[in-house]
Structure 1
Amino acid sequence: MTAVAPDLQPGSTGRLVPVQVHFDDLDALGMLHNARYPVLVERAWTTLWNERGLVFEGDWDAAGDFCNAVKELTVSYEAPVLRPGAYAVHLWIERLGNTGLTYGFRFCSADGATTYARGTRVLVRLDPGTLRPTRWSDRFRTCAQDLLPRD
């Protein structure tokens, strides 16, 4: 279950989604491996969208808004995660255009107080037949409204 993200800064928006770091997510030095952060962020998004009734079940022709590709990913690592356990990902949408979407994330402590990493990811929605950019659905736009910046 997602929780409303605490207002960590004025105007913050989004949701805090619980994630679990497992022992095998750690590298040889006992830190969360840098490649695991995007995977955990993706799992948090999957949880959030599934809770909102947007589910991808592996059929690209029926995937709808889940037929998308990553155009850009940035991650800034701020503090090491040194043990398995309960953490969270704070998710929000920075920009929702016609075919593109930029979301922000923070990998943080379970209560959202400590930030371990932050970043952005740009997605482009694709037509499953042509793999060309196509418009996000109205249903997706409705499901994403509370994740957009507050005016």
Structure 2
Amino acid sequence: MTTEAPIAPAVSYGRLMPVTVHFDDLDALGMLHNARYPLLVERAWTEFWQVHGVRFEGDWAGAGDACNVVKELLIGYEAPVTRTGSYAVHLWLDRLGTTGLTYGFRFCSADGATTYARGARVLVRIDAATLRPTPWSDAFRAGARALVRPAD
């Protein structure tokens, strides 16, 4: 039995996951450090997938769909985050392939109205023994389909 993680207000596609910016996330100028954006996005994804049964608990051979690697990361910064507090990460999938996927994200205000950064990341699921690409499980694919962004 799984329970849903706390979800911020609705968006028209994907999920809006709450995150918190702390004082030590800020740089010397009092802005969210550029390296913290991907970290906060990763935490949002981790929380989303843990609720759906995908987690790493120290055993790569048993990690299943959590055994994946980043192939590419792209991020663009649109406006500075200059305060600590509650924000959100809007998550969605742009592509769900056999062994890989491309997800999009926006780092935004808690209500999703203001975008501070946006980007995309390509993941590839790998076999823990061979380190070669391997297909996503049917259960993962079923959970991921709900995040696929509709065609414009």
Shorter-chain TM-score tier: over 0.9
- Secondary structure of 2:61 counterpart: helix
Q: Equivalents in 2 of 1:29, 1:69: separation in Å?
A: 32
Contact kept? 1:2, 1:48, Cα under 8 Å: no
Instruction: Flag structure 2 segments of 5+ consecutive residues without an equivalent.
Output: 1-5
| Alignment partners' CA distance in 2, 1:62 and 1:111 | 37
The CA RMSD over aligned residues, in Å, is 1.1
Alignment partners' CA distance in 2, 1:48 and 1:135: 20
Question: Is residue 89–residue 105 contact of structure 2 (8 Å, CA) maintained in 1?
Answer: yes
**TM superposition shift of 1:29:** 0.3
The CA distance in 1 between the partners of 2:9 and 2:83, in whole Å, is 25
Q: Which amino acid aligns with 2:25?
A: D
Matched length: 146
Q: 1:54 Cα shift? A: 1.9
Calculate the TM-score normalised by the size of structure 1.
Answer: 0.93
- What CA distance in whole angstroms lies between the structure 1 residues aligned with 2:41 and 2:114? 16
Identity %: 71
- TM-score w.r.t. the length of structure 2 is 0.93
* Superposed displacement of residue 50, structure 1: 1.3
Shift of 1:3: 4.0
Task: Name 1:137's counterpart in structure 2.
Answer: 137
Q: Which residue of 2 aligns with 1:65?
A: 65
Alignment of 1:1-150 (within 5 A): 1-3=6-8, 5-7=10-12, 13-150=13-150
Alpha-carbon separation, structure 2, partners of 1:6 and 1:125: 27
Unaligned ranges ≥5, structure 1: 8-12
